[in-house]
C-alpha cells in the first residue's frame, strides 16, 4: 500500500472547477416550472401595535398570493433557542423591517409595485435604541428586564486583589455592528405538496436548523420537511439563523399558492433586514502588581441583541469565555449580559462575541502596559497562560503551548523591535505617523462547554460498488473548504486517492445531522467523526474477510463490489462522544469550555495620514497555532480572509443607525476593503497537534477575526499617542481626536516646506 | 428612472453573446444582467449588489469590462457581449482557472466569474503586471472571503505561465 499524505496537502477545492467556470449552481441560478417570486412587506416603525393593513385599490389583488400570520398552521415562531421570534408579526412589531405580510406573483415588476401598495397603520409604542436605555429598564420591551441572558464567571477572591495592587487600571471599550456582507444575498426556493410536505433549496449554513424551524412552523413530521443546501456564496455566520426565516416565508407562499416560490433578497433588503454582529461595550477594572502581573480584575461585557433572543445567549457565552483572553487571572469576576433593543436581531458573525471582548482586552493590555511602564510586548509576556495554569473558567491548559515562542516568532517575522524604534524616531518630524501594534489571543474550537454533547452529531460515509466513497454530512460548504478537507480526511483514513472521495450535497433527505456549520467545528469535530466513519468502512470490509490490512484502491474497489453484491449497501456512521476529560458546569460557568484552543499573535503596521486622517495598514503578520494544518492553501485563505474582515471591522465598516434601522444599507455607503485597501497579509502556522481533532486539527475559521482590530488600534495609538477605545475607527474619529492632543501645527500644514 | 418599473413596451434587442447572435424581447431599461441570466440562461454572471459596486456581474461588452447590472438592455443592442460561459476558448482562461484552483483564489465562488473576467481584461492590457497593477485591475471586484491575497497570487502566476508558454 502506498503511503498517503492527503491530509496536509494543498489538494484543489472539490467544487473548485465549477466555481472557476461559472457552472456552480447557487439558488438564484435555479428555476422550477411554474415558479412564482415572493416578497416581504415589512414594518417601518421600530415598535408598535399593528392597527390595520390595507391594500391600494389600484392593484388587482386577486392576481397575488397573500400570506399573513393567520396562514401559519403550526406555531408562529422561528424555532431556535427561545421561541420568541415570530415568522410574521401579527399584532405588534418590535423592530424596523420586521416581516408582516408576504406576497407572491409570477412577475417581479408587479410584485415590487404591490409591496409598495400595502399600507400598514400602527399605534406606536416607545422604542429602546441603545444598550444604556435598555439597561435603565424604564421601558420594558422584552421579558421582565430587557435581558436575554446574563452570565457570571468567578474565580479566586476578587475583593482581595484591590488592596494588593500597585496599579488599578480602568477602561471602557466599544465595538460597532458589522454586516457579514457575503456577496451572495440570502435566498431560497420552496415547494409544497400534500404528499411530500415542504421542500426548501437555499443558501444556508445549517440545513437542520432550517429543518427544525419548518417542522414547527408547519406542524409537520421530520420526514415531510426537506432542506437542500445549494452552493452558498459566502455566509460568515450571516446564514446561520436567518435562512430559517426566509425559508419559512417562501414555504408559506408555496403552500398557499401550490406553486414553487423563490425569494431572493436584493442587497438593500439583505443589509437592512438580516442579522449583523452584536455591538458591544466592555468595562475593565484590573488590579496589577508593580512588575506588571495581573492580580485580578472585574470585566463587564454587554452586547446589544436587538429585538429577539435568537442566538444572543450563545454569542454572549463565547464573548464571556474569551473576555480574559490568553492571560492568567488568579482572580476574576466576569459579568455579562445581552440586552434587548428595537433593532433587527443581531446574530452570528465569524468569531461570535470573541472579537468584541478580545478587542477590549487587547486594547486594555496596552493601557496596562503604559500605566506599569513596560512595553506592550512585555506586559503580555508577563501574563501569558502557561501549561498547567487555568483560564478564567478554570480550564486547565493541557496543551504544550509556548506563547513566548509564538510571540518571539511573530516579533521576528514582523521586524517589530527595529520598526518600533525607527517609527518613534521618524514620527518626530514626519507628516505621516507610523505605528506598530500587537494582539495576542486565543479562540476556542467547537461548541462551548456542553454544547457538543447536546448536538450529538452523526456523520456517515458510504462506499459504492465502484469503490468511490461518499461523505454524508449536513456540514455545508460556503467557501471555507468543508467539502475539500472532509474528503481529504476520508481519503487519508481509507488510504484512497483524494479523487476517489466525494461529498454529498447537504440534503436532509440524504445526509444525517452532523450539526450546524458554525463555531470552527467542522474540520475538528465533524472531521474526526468522518475519520471514524471512514475507518468503519475499512473494518466492515476487513471483518467480512474481503479486505486485507494492506490494499490497493483496486483491491478496495473489488471488496466494495463484493460486499454490496451481498448486502446491498455499505455505509458506516459515527456519532460524537464527549471526551472524558471535557467537563463543564453550565450553572457556575466553570470548567472545560472548549476541547481545544487555537492560539495566535498578530502584528499590524499602520500609517496615519495627518492630511486625510485615514489609516492605512502597511503590513500584517498573522502567526497562529491551529494544530495540524489539513490543507495549507485553504487554511491560509481562511486567515487572509478573516484578517481582511477584521481590518474592515477596525477601520472601514460602520453601520449607521437611525431609529433602530440601518440607514446605509448599500455597498456604496457601507464600505468593505477592496483589493487596493489591504496590506500584504503574511500568514504563518505553527503546528502543535491536538488530540481531539481529526489528524490533530483544531478549528481555524473564526480565529483570524479576533486579532486584527486590537492590533491595528494599538498601532494607531503607537503612531499618534492617542488612546482610541472604539471601532470602527474612521477618519472623522481621528480628525476629532487628533489635533488637540498630539500634533504640532507645522507637521500637517499643507504649506510646510514652502517657506 | 427606476429600471424595475417599465413604462415602455418591450422591444426586440439584437446582440451577440459569446459569439452567437441573439434576439431577445425585453424592456429597453431591463438590466443586461437580467437578460443574460433570465432570458439567455447564462447564470455564470452573478448579482451581488445591483448598483455597480461589487463587480460580480462583470461581463465584457465590446471588449470593455462592465457591470451588467448597470447596463440597460437597449444599450447592449448591437454589442458583442462575453460572459464567463463564453470564455472557455480564450487563451488566458486555462492558466487563470488553474492558478485560481492552485492558489486558493476562489472560496465561496460567487465573485469568481467576475473576478476572472476582470483578470482576463487586465492581462490582455498588461501581460506582465506588477502586484500594484493587479490590485488596481481588480479593484472593481469585491471578494469577502479571500482577503484578495490568493487572488493576486493566482493572477500573477497565470501571467507568468502565459509568458513562459
Quickly list DSSP for A152-197: EEEES-HHHHHHH-SEEEEEEEEE-------SSPPEEEEEEETTTE
The structure's pTM equals 0.96
- Give the per-residue pLDDT at B7: 56
Please give the helix or strand (H or E) that residue A3 lies within, else none: none
- Interchain pair A479, B145: CB under 8 A: yes
Cis preceding-peptide flag for A728 (omega within 30 of 0): yes
ipTM > 0.85?
yes
Average pLDDT, chain A: 95
In CATH, which of 2.60.40.10, 1.20.140.10, 3.30.365.10, 2.160.10.10 is domain A16-25+457-575? 3.30.365.10
Q: What topology is assigned to A280-448+589-742 in CATH?
A: Aldehyde Oxidoreductase; domain 4 (3.30.365)
For B150-160, what is the mean pLDDT?
98
pLDDT for A746 beyond 50: no
Q: What is the pLDDT of residues A126-163, one digit of tens each?
A: 999 999 999 999 999 999 999 999 999 999 999 999 99
- Give the per-residue pLDDT at A320: 98
- Give the per-residue pLDDT at A3: 52
**What is the number of alpha carbons within 13 Å of residue A159 lying toward its C-beta?**
0
pLDDT for A754 beyond 60: no
Burial class of residue A754 in the structure, from the number of CB atoms within 10 Å of its CB (0-12 exposed, 13-18 middle, 19+ buried): exposed
Identify the residue with better confidence: A582 or A183. A183
Helix/strand number for chain B, H first, E second: 5, 5
- Interchain pair B103, A667: CB under 8 A: no
Per DSSP, the three-state class of A457 is coil
pLDDT for A420 beyond 50: yes
Provide the pLDDT confidence category of residue A689 given band limits of 50, 70 and 90. low
**What is the number of alpha carbons within 13 Å of residue A373 lying toward its C-beta?**
5
- Give the per-residue pLDDT at A453: 87
**Of residues B46, B101, B104, nearest to A637 (C-beta):** B104
Judging contacts by C-beta atoms under 8 Å, the chain B residues touching residue A673 are 147
Distances, alpha carbon A337 to alpha carbons A138, A160, A443, A598, A673, in Å = 17, 25, 20, 25, 31
Does B145 reach chain A within 8 Å, measured CB to CB?
yes
The C-alpha atoms of residue A297 and residue A153 are separated, in whole angstroms, by: 12
Looking at chain A, the domain(s) classified CATH 3.30.365.10 span 16-25+457-575, 32-125+181-273, 280-448+589-742
Q: In what order do the strands lie in the sheet with A48-55?
A: A92-93, A48-55, A118-124
Judging contacts by C-beta atoms under 8 Å, the chain B residues touching residue A17 are 97, 101
- Interchain pair B107, A181: CB under 8 A: no
CATH 3.30.365.10 fits A32-125+181-273, yes or no: yes
Does B154 reach chain A within 8 Å, measured CB to CB?
no
DSSP secondary structure string for all residues of A240-302:
TSHHHHHHHHHHHHHHHHSS-EEEE--HHHHHHHS--PPPEEEEEEEEE-TTS-EEEEEEEEE
CB A274 within 8 A of CB A98: no
**CB pairs A-B closer than 8 Å:** 170
Judging contacts by C-beta atoms under 8 Å, the chain A residues touching residue B88 are 21
| DSSP assigned state of B72 | B
Provide the pLDDT confidence category of residue A448 given band limits of 50, 70 and 90. confident
Q: What is the pLDDT of residues B79-121, one digit of tens each?
A: 999 999 999 999 999 999 999 999 999 999 999 999 999 999 9
From the list A267, A233, A227, A275, the residue with the least C-alpha distance to A247 is: A227
**Of residues A16, A184, A267, nearest to B110 (C-beta):** A184
| A182 Cα to chain B: minimum distance (Å) | 6
Judging contacts by C-beta atoms under 8 Å, the chain B residues touching residue A644 are 146-148
From the list A208, A81, A182, the residue with the least C-alpha distance to A516 is: A208
- Interchain pair B139, A641: CB under 8 A: no
Provide the pLDDT confidence category of residue A431 given band limits of 50, 70 and 90. confident
Give percent of chain A above pLDDT 70: 97
Q: What is the pLDDT of residues A172-213, one digit of tens each?
A: 999 999 999 999 999 999 999 999 999 999 999 999 999 999
**Of residues A28, A183, A232, nearest to B54 (C-beta):** A183
Identify the residue with better confidence: A749 or A440. A440
Judging contacts by C-beta atoms under 8 Å, the chain A residues touching residue B112 are 19-20, 22
- Tracing cell 492630511 back to the chain, one arrives at A611
Residue of chain B minimizing CA distance to A22? B44
List domains and CATH numbers for chain B.
11-86 (3.10.20.30), 93-164 (1.10.150.120)
Q: What is the pLDDT of residues A620-648, one digit of tens each?
A: 999 999 999 999 999 999 999 999 999 99
B 80-139 residues inside an 8 A Cβ radius of A: 83-85, 88, 96-97, 100-113, 116, 134-136, 138-139
CB A638 within 8 A of CB A700: yes
B 3-32 residues inside an 8 A Cβ radius of A: 4-6
B 36-55 residues inside an 8 A Cβ radius of A: 37, 43-51, 53-54
Judging contacts by C-beta atoms under 8 Å, the chain A residues touching residue B101 are 12-13, 16-17, 20
Q: What is the pLDDT of residues A90-130, one digit of tens each?
A: 999 999 999 999 999 999 999 999 999 999 999 999 999 99
Amino acid at each position: 500500500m502506498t503511503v498517503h499524505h492527503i491530509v496536509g496537502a494543498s489538494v484543489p477545492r472539490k467544487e473548485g472547477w465549477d466555481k472557476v467556470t461559472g457552472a456552480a449552481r447557487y439558488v438564484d441560478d435555479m428555476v422550477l416550472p411554474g415558479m412564482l417570486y415572493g416578497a416581504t412587506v415589512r414594518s417601518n416603525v421600530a415598535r408598535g401595535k399593528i392597527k390595520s393593513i390595507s391594500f391600494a385599490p389600484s392593484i388587482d389583488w386577486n392576481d397575488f398570493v397573500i400570506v399573513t400570520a393567520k396562514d401559519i398552521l403550526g406555531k408562529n415562531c422561528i424555532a431556535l433557542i427561545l421561541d420568541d421570534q415570530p415568522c410574521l408579526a401579527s399584532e405588534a412589531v418590535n423592530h424596523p423591517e420586521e416581516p408582516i405580510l408576504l406576497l407572491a406573483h409570477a412577475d417581479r415588476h408587479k410584485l415590487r409595485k404591490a409591496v409598495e401598495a400595502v399600507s400598514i397603520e400602527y399605534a406606536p409604542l416607545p422604542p429602546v435604541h441603545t444598550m444604556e436605555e435598555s439597561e435603565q429598564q424604564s421601558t420594558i420591551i422584552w421579558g421582565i428586564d430587557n435581558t436575554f441572558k446574563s452570565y457570571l464567571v468567578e474565580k479566586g477572591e476578587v475583593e482581595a486583589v484591590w488592596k494588593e495592587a500597585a496599579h488599578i487600571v480602568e477602561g471602557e471599550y466599544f465595538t460597532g455592528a458589522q454586516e457579514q456582507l457575503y456577496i451572495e444575498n440570502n435566498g431560497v426556493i420552496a415547494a409544497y405538496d400534500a404528499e411530500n410536505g415542504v421542500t426548501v433549496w437555499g443558501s444556508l449554513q445549517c440545513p437542520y436548523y432550517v429543518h427544525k424551524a419548518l417542522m414547527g412552523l408547519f406542524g409537520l413530521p421530520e420526514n415531510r420537511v426537506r432542506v437542500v443546501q445549494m452552493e452558498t456564496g459566502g455566509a460568515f455566520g450571516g446564514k446561520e439563523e436567518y435562512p430559517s426565516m426566509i425559508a419559512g416565508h417562501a414555504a408559506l407562499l408555496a403552500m398557499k399558492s401550490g406553486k414553487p416560490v423563490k425569494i431572493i433578497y436584493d442587497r438593500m433588503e439583505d443589509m437592512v433586514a438580516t442579522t449583523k454582529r452584536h455591538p458591544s461595550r466592555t468595562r475593565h477594572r484590573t488590579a496589577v502588581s508593580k512588575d506588571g502581573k495581573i492580580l485580578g480584575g472585574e470585566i463587564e461585557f454587554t452586547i446589544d441583541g436587538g429585538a429577539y433572543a435568537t442566538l444572543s445567549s450563545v454569542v454572549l457565552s463565547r464573548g464571556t469565555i474569551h473576555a480574559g483572553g490568553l492571560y492568567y487571572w488568579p482572580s476574576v469576576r466576569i459579568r455579562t449580559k445581552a440586552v434587548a433593543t428595537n433593532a433587527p436581531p443581531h446574530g452570528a458573525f465569524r468569531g461570535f462575541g470573541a472579537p468584541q471582548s478580545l478587542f477590549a482586552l487587547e486594547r486594555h493590555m496596552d493601557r496596562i502596559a503604559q500605566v506599569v511602564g513596560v512595553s506592550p510586548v512585555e506586559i503580555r509576556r508577563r501574563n501569558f497562560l502557561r501549561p498547567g495554569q487555568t483560564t478564567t473558567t478554570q480550564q486547565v491548559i493541557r496543551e504544550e503551548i509556548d506563547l513566548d515562542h509564538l510571540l518571539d516568532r511573530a516579533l521576528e517575522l514582523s521586524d517589530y523591535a527595529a520598526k518600533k524604534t525607527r517609527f518613534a524616531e521618524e514620527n518626530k518630524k514626519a507628516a505621516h505617523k507610523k505605528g506598530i501594534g500587537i494582539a495576542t489571543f486565543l479562540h476556542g474550537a467547537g461548541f462551548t462547554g456542553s454544547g457538543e454533547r447536546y448536538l450529538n452529531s452523526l456523520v456517515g460515509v458510504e462506499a459504492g460498488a465502484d469503490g468511490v466513497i461518499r461523505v454524508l454530512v449536513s456540514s455545508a460548504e460556503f467557501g471555507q473548504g468543508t467539502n475539500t478537507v472532509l474528503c481529504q480526511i476520508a481519503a487519508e483514513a481509507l488510504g484512497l486517492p483524494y479523487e476517489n472521495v466525494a461529498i454529498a450535497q447537504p440534503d436532509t433527505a440524504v445526509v444525517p445531522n452532523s450539526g450546524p456549520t458554525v463555531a470552527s467545528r467542522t474540520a475538528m469535530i465533524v472531521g474526526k467523526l468522518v475519520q471514524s466513519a471512514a475507518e468503519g468502512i475499512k473494518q466492515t470490509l476487513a471483518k467480512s474477510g474481503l479486505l486485507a490490512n494492506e490494499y490497493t484502491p483496486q483491491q478496495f474497489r473489488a471488496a466494495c463490489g463484493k460486499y454490496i453484491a451481498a448486502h446491498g449497501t455499505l455505509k458506516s456512521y459515527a456519532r460524537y462522544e464527549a471526551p472524558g476529560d471535557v467537563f463543564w458546569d453550565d450553572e457556575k460557568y466553570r470548567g472545560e469550555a472548549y476541547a481545544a484552543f487555537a492560539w495566535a499573535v498578530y502584528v499590524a503596521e499602520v500609517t496615519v495620514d495627518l492630511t486625510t486622517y485615514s489609516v492605512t495598514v502597511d503590513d500584517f503578520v498573522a502567526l497562529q497555532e491551529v494544530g495540524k494544518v489539513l490543507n495549507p492553501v485553504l487554511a491560509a485563505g481562511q486567515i487572509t480572509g478573516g484578517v481582511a474582515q477584521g481590518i474592515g471591522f477596525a477601520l472601514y465598516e460602520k453601520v449607521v443607525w437611525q431609529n433602530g434601522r440601518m440607514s446605509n444599507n448599500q455597498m456604496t455607503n457601507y464600505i468593505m476593503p477592496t483589493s487596493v485597501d489591504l496590506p500584504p497579509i503574511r500568514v504563518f502556522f505553527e503546528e502543535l497537534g491536538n488530540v481531539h481533532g481529526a489528524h490533530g486539527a483544531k478549528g481555524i475559521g473564526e480565529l483570524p477575526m479576533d486579532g486584527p482590530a486590537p492590533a491595528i488600534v494599538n498601532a494607531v495609538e503607537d503612531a499618534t499617542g492617542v488612546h482610541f477605545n472604539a471601532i470602527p475607527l474612521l477618519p472623522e474619529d481621528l480628525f476629532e481626536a487628533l489635533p488637540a492632543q498630539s500634533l504640532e501645527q507645522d507637521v500637517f500644514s499643507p504649506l510646510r516646506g514652502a517657506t | 428612472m427606476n429600471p424595475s418599473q417599465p413604462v415602455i413596451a418591450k422591444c426586440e434587442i439584437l446582440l451577440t453573446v459569446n459569439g452567437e447572435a441573439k434576439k431577445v424581447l425585453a424592456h429597453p431599461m431591463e438590466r443586461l444582467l437580467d437578460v443574460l441570466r433570465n432570458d439567455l440562461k447564462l447564470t455564470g454572471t452573478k448579482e451581488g449588489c445591483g448598483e455597480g459596486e461589487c463587480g460580480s456581474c462583470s461581463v465584457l461588452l465590446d471588449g470593455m469590462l462592465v457591470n451588467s447590472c448597470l447596463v440597460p438592455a437597449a444599450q447592449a443592442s448591437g454589442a458583442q457581449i462575453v460572459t464567463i460561459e463564453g470564455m472557455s476558448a480564450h487563451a488566458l482562461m486555462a492558466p487563470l482557472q488553474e492558478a485560481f484552483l492552485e492558489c486558493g483564489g476562489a472560496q465561496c465562488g460567487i465573485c469568481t466569474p467576475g473576478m476572472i473576467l476582470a483578470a482576463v481584461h487586465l492581462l490582455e492590457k498588461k501581460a506582465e503586471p506588477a502586484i500594484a497593477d493587479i490590485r488596481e485591475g481588480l479593484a472593481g471586484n469585491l471578494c469577502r472571503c479571500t482577503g484578495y491575497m490568493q487572488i493576486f497570487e493566482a493572477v500573477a502566476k497565470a501571467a507568468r505561465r502565459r509568458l513562459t508558454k
